[in-house]
């Protein structure tokens, strides 16, 4: 896939590609983990916010060091479902508003991916949404230390999908990572990026 094609990704292309396309089967952390079924995990949702500009970008957050878990990690805005959430989209939009101050009415929902089952007990539904500038954000600093954007074409270049491994409890574990400048996107968030690429760009 050459650079000229990678940089041709547009919001209209994204909308057409997702329209009417069913989500793939549920996936697991880094493809090769044997985990409990999705029904036994805590439901959660994240928003994959695609910023509609000449070169579309995707918004990420750096989690605050004040958090008990995942401090300093890079993630999409989102979190666990609450009793009043009617759909995964509702969860994703509510959590996004709480974390970065992006109002739900500013987001055009294009679709969702199948749940992503993680090793730490979550069943995450990624929701893809388009946001048109200008962005007016108000990050909750108890949860978010920083907000940044990555070009969509960079995320959809499989040459940037780095696969690493480490030993954990006597077992070799694998995970994905992407290095964008000083930002190291790894683990579940990188896995979600790879799944999105496979679903709508790479087949």
Mean pLDDT for 132-142 is 91
CA 125 to chain centre: 9
Instruction: Dump pLDDT digits (tens) for 13-38.
Output: 899 888 867 766 666 555 555 555 54
Mean pLDDT for 138-154 is 94
DSSP E strand stretches across the chain: 27-28, 42-51, 57-63, 74-75, 78-80, 107-112, 116-117, 122-131, 144-151, 162-168, 171-180, 183-186
Domains of the chain: 3-152 (3.90.79.10)
Decide if 112 contacts 125 (C-beta within 8 A).
yes
Residue the block writes with tokens 């995990």: 41
What pLDDT does residue 20 have?
Answer: 65
* Residue with more model confidence, 8 or 83: 83
Confidence check: pLDDT of 182 > 70: yes
CA 122 to chain centre: 14
Q: Which of 140, 122, 134, 158 is nearest to 35 (CA)?
A: 122
Radius of gyration in angstroms for the set of CA atoms belonging to the chain, rounded to a whole number:
16
What pLDDT does residue 1 have?
Answer: 46
Confidence check: pLDDT of 45 > 90: yes
The C-alpha atoms of residue 193 and residue 127 are separated, in whole angstroms, by 12
What pLDDT does residue 119 have?
Answer: 76
Q: Is the link from the previous residue into 134 a cis peptide, with omega within 30 of 0?
A: yes
Which residues, including other chains, have CB under 8 Å from residue 105's CB and lie 6 or more apart? none
What is the pTM assigned to this prediction? 0.88
Q: What confidence category does residue 199 fall into, taking pLDDT thresholds of 50, 70 and 90? A: confident
First-residue to last-residue Cα distance in the chain:
13
Could you tell me what percent of the chain has a pLDDT over 90? 55
Confidence check: pLDDT of 3 > 60: no
Helix (H, G, I), strand (E, B) or coil at 180: strand
Instruction: Dump pLDDT digits (tens) for 69-126.
Output: 666 789 999 999 999 999 999 999 999 999 999 999 999 999 988 888 887 778 899 9
Confidence check: pLDDT of 6 > 60: no
What is the residue-averaged pLDDT of the chain?
85
Query: What is the β-pairing status of strands 116-117 and 27-28?
Result: parallel
Which residues, including other chains, have CB under 8 Å from residue 73's CB and lie 6 or more apart? 62, 63, 186, 187, 189
Confidence check: pLDDT of 4 > 60: no
């Amino acid at each position: 896939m050459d650079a000229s094609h990678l940089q041709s990704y547009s919001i209209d292309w994204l909308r057409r590609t997702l329209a009417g396309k069913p989500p793939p089967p549920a996936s697991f952390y880094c493809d090769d983990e044997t985990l409990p079924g999705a029904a036994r995990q805590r439901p959660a949702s994240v928003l994959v916010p695609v910023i509609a500009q000449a070169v579309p970008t995707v918004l990420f957050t750096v989690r605050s060091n004040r958090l008990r878990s995942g401090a300093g990690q890079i993630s999409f805005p989102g979190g666990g479902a609450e009793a009043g959430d009617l759909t995964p989209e509702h969860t994703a939009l509510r959590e996004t508003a709480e974390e970065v101050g992006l109002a739900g009415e500013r987001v055009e929902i294009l679709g969702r991916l199948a749940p992503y089952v993680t090793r730490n007990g979550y069943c995450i539904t990624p929701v893809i949404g388009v946001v048109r500038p200008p962005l007016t954000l108000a990050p909750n600093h108890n949860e978010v230390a920083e907000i940044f954007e990555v070009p969509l074409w960079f995320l959809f270049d499989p040459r940037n999908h780095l696969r690493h491994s480490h030993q954990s409890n006597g077992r070799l574990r694998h995970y994905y990572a992407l290095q964008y400048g000083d930002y190291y996107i790894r683990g579940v968030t990188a896995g979600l990026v790879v799944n999105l690429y496979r679903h709508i760009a790479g087949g």
